[in-house]
Structures are given as structure tokens and as C-alpha cells.
């Protein structure tokens, strides 16, 4: 049974799994056609899902067009999220980026493709390192005040920039980001260093993309491809460490009587109600298998085993703080008095 969560520190109610629609459309050569995309959408919504994620760039705009058709009969039921920042025209210098001109143009064109007059959640897709934070936050707040957008979030951006943006928004009475998107899975846990602690501090929703490690955690790629074999996107992550994680997930899933994908998603969901994984699929059967993760509740020892095999080096300054010498000079003989951490 699908449950619902508050999106960050807002009052917006979203389903605990978000439907990613990057493969709705065949323009990129590996996506789903209209009929298949609609079946995926209907399987998700029949399970109680209401949180749909797309973007202006997905399949050259076809994803948004499909979604617009799918939700047209009951628009208000759905929490519709799309993104801006990535290019729509290669030869137009202002048709990409985080700046106000591209923001307004991109949102206007997304509204047309989506056949709606408002976007529930607008994500800044990727930080461009050229636009001032002030310009971004003021532009997003203007869209909120116009009623064109209801909430805003930010994806693929360093933690210090998100922290600066939300602090500035609070100081100037602008709308802050309510959530972040990050790559996060048993294969990729580096967001735990700064992005996830930052999100928790600000009360942001965390919507992991690629929760199955670009397919590595499905159990279908547990062996290296033969030399000379045609490489797929998954092969970028195919190293000994990741293969070891994938095999462990498969072994534990077999013991539990579930699929590796279901266990990998259950691990993310166990991290807390602020984690809202983005699930994607190219077929009706795949999305049905994925949705079955809602019934998986791994025992503590299973989660601990997954944590251990996928552990990362947190690096400086995190590991520095944990060293006995630093703990000694920081707390002296009073360490036990500081068991409560504020951050």
C-alpha cells in the first residue's frame, strides 16, 4: 500500500515513491512509446502514486507531452514536477542555464507541453556556476507569487550553494527550496558527506535518482561483460567494488524472497521518511516489480550488511573529527557530556 509523505518542510503531500519519466518517448533510442509509457503511468497511479517527475530535456520534450496527455483528465490529483536549466536549443546561448531569461522561457514552454497552467514543483536541474544565487532565488520566487509554480527544489548542486540559497531566501522573505535531488544508492553514497546532512538540517525532502545504480542493483549485471562486448551505460559503474555490492544485494534478496531491485529500494526507504526515491521503468512489468518494494521491510542485520559492504570514505573533515586525537583536544575529559549532536 502506497503511503504519503510531506515534501520537506512544506505541507505538500506526495507518494513515497516518485515516478521518473526520463524514458517516456523514443527520441533517445532507448525509451518507451506512448502506449507503453501510458501503461507504466497507469500501473504507478493504480498503486496510489501521485508524484510525477519529468524535465524540459527529457526525450526532447516528448516526456512532458506524454505526461500532459496522461494527467489532463484529472490534473489536480497529481503533484507534477518538472525542471529547467538544460538546453532546448544548442545554438542559442540563452536557451540554457539558471538565469532568469532561460527560467521564464523554459517554464512557459514546459507549461505548453504539459497542457497545464501551473507546475506543482519546479526543480533547478543543475547548477551552472555562472548565475548569481540572488538572481535564481528572486526569479523562482516571482514564479511562486505569479501562481505559475507552487514549490521549488534543486538538483545536482553542491551543498554549500543550496545552503547559501535557502539562507538568503529566508533572510529576504523569498521562497526557499523544499527539496533536493541527488544521485543516491548502494552504489553511490557520497551524498552522505555533505548534501544529505545539509538537507536534513534545512528540513528538505531528498529524492534520490538512479536508486538502482544505473541498473547495477537489478541483479542483471553481476558479471563483467566479455572483452570486446558492446558496453551499456551500466558499464560506467562496473568495477570490482560495485560488482561486489550488487552480488551481495542479490544474495540477500534471494534469502528474503524478493528481487534485488526491491531490496535496494527498501534500503533507501529505511533511511527515513524524507527519502523519496525516483523510480523509472521501460515496461509495465518492470514498474510492477519495482512497486513491490513497498512490501519489503528488511531486518536490521540485513540493512547493516548492506551498509557495511557499500561504506564509503567520508574524507576530510569528517574522518578528521572522528580521530581519537581530535576528539581528545575538542572535548578533553568531557566527551561523554556531549552525546547530543546539534548538527
pLDDT of residue 188: 97
Q: Among 44, 58, 151, 184, which one carries the catalytic annotation?
A: 58
pLDDT of residue 292: 97
Instruction: Map out the domains of the chain as residue ranges.
Output: 4-337
pLDDT of residue 315: 94
pLDDT of residue 231: 47
pLDDT of residue 222: 79
* 58 catalytic residue (yes or no): yes
Q: Please report, in angstroms and rounded to a whole number, the separation of the first and last CA atoms in the chain.
A: 34
User: Quick check: pTM over 0.85?
Assistant: yes
Nearest to 14 by CA among 220, 243, 194, 278: 278
| 3-state SS, one letter per residue, for the chain | CCCEEECCCCCCEEECCEEECCCECCCCCCCECHHHHHHHHHHHHHCCCCEEECCCCHHHHHHHHHHHHHHHHHHHHCEEEEEECCCCCCCCCCCCCCCHHHHHHHHHHHHHHHCCCCEEEEEECCCCCCCCHHHHHHHHHHHHHHCCEEEEEEECCCHHHHHHHHHHHHHCCCCCCCEEEEECCCCCCHHHCCHHHHHHHHCCEEEEECCCCCCHHHCCCCCCCCCCCCCCHHHHHCCHHHHHHHHHHHHHHHHHCCCHHHHHHHHHHCCCCCECCEECCCCHHHHHHHHHHHHCCCCHHHHHHHHHHCCCCCCCCHHHHHCHHHHHHHHHHHHHHCCCCCC
* Domain 4-337, CATH: 3.20.20.100
**343 residues of the chain, pLDDT tens digit each:** 899 999 999 999 999 999 999 999 999 998 999 999 999 999 999 999 999 999 999 999 999 999 999 999 999 999 999 999 999 999 999 999 999 999 999 999 999 999 999 999 999 999 999 999 999 999 999 999 999 999 999 999 999 999 999 999 999 999 999 999 999 999 999 999 999 999 999 999 999 999 999 999 998 887 766 555 554 555 678 899 999 999 999 999 999 999 999 999 999 999 999 999 999 999 999 999 999 999 999 999 999 999 999 999 999 999 999 899 999 999 898 877 776 666 6
Amino acid at each position: 500500500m502506497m503511503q504519503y509523505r510531506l515534501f520537506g518542510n512544506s505541507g505538500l503531500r506526495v507518494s513515497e515513491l516518485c515516478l521518473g519519466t526520463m524514458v517516456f518517448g523514443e527520441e533517445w533510442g532507448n525509451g518507451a512509446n506512448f502506449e507503453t509509457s501510458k501503461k507504466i503511468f497507469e500501473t504507478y497511479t493504480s498503486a496510489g502514486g501521485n508524484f510525477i517527475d519529468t524535465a524540459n530535456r527529457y526525450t526532447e520534450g516528448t516526456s512532458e507531452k506524454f505526461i500532459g496527455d496522461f494527467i489532463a483528465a484529472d490534473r489536480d490529483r497529481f503533484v507534477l514536477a518538472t525542471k529547467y536549466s538544460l538546453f532546448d536549443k544548442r545554438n542559442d546561448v540563452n536557451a540554457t542555464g539558471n538565469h532568469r531569461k532561460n527560467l521564464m522561457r523554459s517554464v512557459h514552454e514546459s507549461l505548453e507541453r504539459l497542457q497545464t497552467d501551473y507546475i506543482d514543483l519546479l526543480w533547478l536541474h543543475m547548477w551552472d556556476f555562472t548565475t548569481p544565487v540572488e538572481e535564481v532565488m528572486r526569479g523562482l520566487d516571482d514564479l511562486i507569487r505569479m501562481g505559475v509554480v507552487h514549490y521549488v527544489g534543486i538538483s545536482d548542486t553542491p551543498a554549500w550553494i543550496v545552503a547559501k540559497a535557502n539562507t538568503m531566501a529566508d533572510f529576504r522573505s523569498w521562497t526557499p527550496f523544499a527539496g533536493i535531488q541527488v544521485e543516491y544508492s548502494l552504489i553511490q553514497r557520497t551524498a552522505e558527506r555533505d548534501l544529505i546532512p545539509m538537507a536534513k538540517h534545512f528540513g528538505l525532502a531528498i529524492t534520490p535518482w538512479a536508486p538502482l545504480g544505473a541498473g547495477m542493483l537489478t541483479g542483471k549485471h553481476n558479471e563483467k561483460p566479455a572483452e570486446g562486448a558492446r558496453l551499456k551505460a551500466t558499464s560506467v559503474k562496473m568495477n570490482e567494488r560495485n560488482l561486489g555490492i550488487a552480488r551481495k544485494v542479490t544474495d540477500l534478496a534471494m534469502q528474503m524472497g524478493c528481487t534485488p531491485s526491491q531490496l535496494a529500494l527498501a534500503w533507501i526507504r529505511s533511511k527515513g521518511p524524507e527519502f523519496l526515491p525516483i523510480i523509472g521503468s521501460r515496461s509495465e512489468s518492470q514498474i510492477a516489480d519495482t512497486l513491490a518494494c513497498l512490501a519489503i521491510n528488511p531486518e536490521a542485520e540485513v540493512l547493516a550488511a548492506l551498509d557495511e559492504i557499500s561504506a564509503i570514505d567520508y574524507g576530510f573533515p569528517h574522518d578528521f573529527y572522528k580521530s581519537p586525537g581530535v576528539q581528545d583536544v575538542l572535548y578533553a575529559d568531557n566527551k561523554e557530556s556531549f552525546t547530543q549532536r546539534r548538527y
